[in-house]
Structure 1
């Protein structure tokens, strides 16, 4: 266990012990769950703060464009995550893959007229600022970190090849629906059928007597998509990107919630390439769960 992880785990235990001595058990679990979720989405949270902050302070006359500042901030943050071992190199490689597939989709969607990035920038390729790929990387980072931080297990998990086929079908449909019938409703149904029995088992506390909690995987995907939809509204409200036909001050269409729900399955499938040990095709119960060894 690396020094940064040991120090974080020690802080978590001290905070948990302090809270358990003063608060009811369920309230402690709720507070720690929220704090650890925030810690898991640190990369995305920092990027969102940077988007808001630069919008508030940036002057168009400055020599550095806002989009370029966001790109430099994102790449520096990623480097610091690796330097301080907030992400492993193995996780970073698969996050990079999702980064690249996300950027490819950005290029296609921008040229298809789905959305646009209106501001200038040097680090901008084919009308897409390079920081945009880090928004997808933030999703991959969250998934990889939340699995490790909560010592998650997924069971009973469908055959791995089926999840890969579903992820590819979802990704291809994001492109193909511009030319062919949109099959997203069939894909929604496929996620429910394939993962209907899959539970996410997780532990909020790292103590030996910690309770195991669980949540249906499709429910977790929907709640995560809702959070991303809110973040998208921040992006459009700051003018960082604009959807076709969206009026100033108008909320992002709820249809985008469905898009993020599907894209999360692509991100999750990509991350599972390197966290196969968290997947079990057999049902689990609290009695067979081992003490977490990969807590934050």
Structure 2
């Protein structure tokens, strides 16, 4: 009887510890998502409460610029992280201009700060992914196990990114690239720290997990009019689940760029 009581007490302690760790992990993730949260809140507020003097898209640009300035000023983001985030802003903006030109989606509202039909604020939605990765990397003390060499990682990231463009004219090789990702990162793990206890996760699973949550975020963004797919012109509808594959690939590109830059900075690029 005493042994059963001891086992029951031990199980309760372990359960409480697991709940505590899960809560702390969730809190650190929430802090890492500060920029995306501001983006979604701004989309919702400007949709419900029209602001004066400027079109909605331009107000969003000003809000995101101020948020970015505040995060660097307050120390929530470093200047090195700002450089990475700016790179993602440019990469995302280039992709947006091309996709809008091809009719994949549109930005139907007016705005002064638009390039080829794409509002400049749109780049911040890609930059927010980089912001999350940089924040989570630092807060959870992320490390990589069995990370592939540069000669493999860089061409893979480039191929995934350019396939977003070339599949409109040539064969879509996203599933071939996804297969390559599984093969290349089969033995790769990401480790992270929660309350000084280290955990690990298969890197490929982390890609899928982040991509799925971005798809959920995409549905929220389109609901609040961040952009519009052809099927959402008359009435909003759920974004097709197939878009998860695109987001997973985009997450892979984002992660590979962030990880490569961090490895270069830490002098691990040739390891």
TM-score by length of 1: 0.82
Bigger relative contact order (CA 8 A; separation at least 6): 1
Cα distance in 2 for partners of 1:192, 1:261 equals: 12
Q: Is the 8 A contact 1:157 1:280 kept in 2?
A: no
Gaps of 5+ in 2: 1-12
Match of 1:147 in 2: 137
Match of 2:220 in 1: 234
After superposition, residues 285-296 of structure 1 pair within 5 angstroms as none
Higher helix share: 2
Confirm or deny that 1:263 pairs with 2:250. Answer: yes
Q: Is the 8 A contact 1:91 1:271 kept in 2?
A: no
User: 1:132-170 CA distances to partner (integer Å, 9 max, x unpaired)?
Assistant: 000010001111111111001010111122111110000
Q: Is the 8 A contact 1:154 1:279 kept in 2?
A: no
Match of 2:201, SS? strand
Cα distance in 2 for partners of 1:274, 1:91 equals: 10
TM-score by length of 2: 0.90
Cα distance in 2 for partners of 1:108, 1:269 equals: 22
Match of 2:178 in 1: 188
Confirm or deny that 1:35 pairs with 2:37. Answer: no
Cα distance in 2 for partners of 1:160, 1:213 equals: 25
Match of 2:210 in 1: 224
Match of 1:131 in 2: 121
Paired positions, count: 255
State the Cα distance separating 1:279 from its structure 2 match: 6.6
Confirm or deny that 1:53 pairs with 2:45. Answer: yes
After superposition, residues 1-296 of structure 1 pair within 5 angstroms as 24-58=16-50, 62-205=52-195, 210-246=196-232, 248-276=235-263, 277=266
Gaps of 5+ in 1: 1-20, 283-296
User: 1:70-93 CA distances to partner (integer Å, 9 max, x unpaired)?
Assistant: 000001100111111111111111
Judging changes above 3 Å, is the alpha-carbon distance between structure 1 residues 255 and 222 closer, same or farther for their aligned structure 2 residues? same
User: 1:166-186 CA distances to partner (integer Å, 9 max, x unpaired)?
Assistant: 100001100000000000010
